[in-house]
Structure 1
């Protein structure tokens, strides 16, 4: 499994119980949460999506810094955050996308009256045409 781990800087919000989360090794990877638990969950999602986006763009993924080399603002602290990239890639590959289909109006109306699910039917036909038995 392709596990990545980066340290996130959790900076408490002075006016609430929330946190702003940044990743020093990944500029632009930032999130927040109204509680530590929410910020931690959001940090994992932000890390996963940021790394996945970098992979898709062909960007070099930086080596994570050692915690002792990361400086934090006063009151902030480091939290290790993991991303299991094999799982992220699989989830993103399973993500549904919207595909526009053009057909005669009468055919669409007849199919709707018959209760045909266009998305399900199109997936079945495309899988059959491609010879795919089952690929979630």
Structure 2
């Protein structure tokens, strides 16, 4: 698996929300994905990060650099 440049927060989803895990990227507002396991959620969020950055480029939106947490990881 490729090392993530941006820090990712993984949290469990409630059963009424479908269960599994949610991965969010605090440095990229609205960038998230989910998966059956924490590893699945992290793997899936890598695609979401690429798509988020591509869409931001397309509309001329600034893309924040990874926060210090990711740089130290």
Assess same fold via TM > 0.5: yes
Secondary structure of the residue that 2:8 maps to in structure 1? strand
| Alignment partner, residue 126 of structure 1 | none
1:6 — aligned with what?
6
Deviation at 1:37, TM superposition (A): 2.6
Residue correspondence of structure 1 range 90-109 to structure 2 within 5 A: none
Matched length = 65
The residue aligned with 1:27 is 29
RMSD: 2.1
Structure 1 stretches of 4+ with a deviation exceeding 3 A read none
User: How far apart, in 2, do the equivalents of 1:48 and 1:24 lie?
Assistant: 15
The answer to whether the 8 A contact 2:8-2:42 is kept is: no
Distance 1:37 1:25 in 2: 20
- Unaligned 5+ segments in structure 2 are none
SS in 1 for 2:64: coil
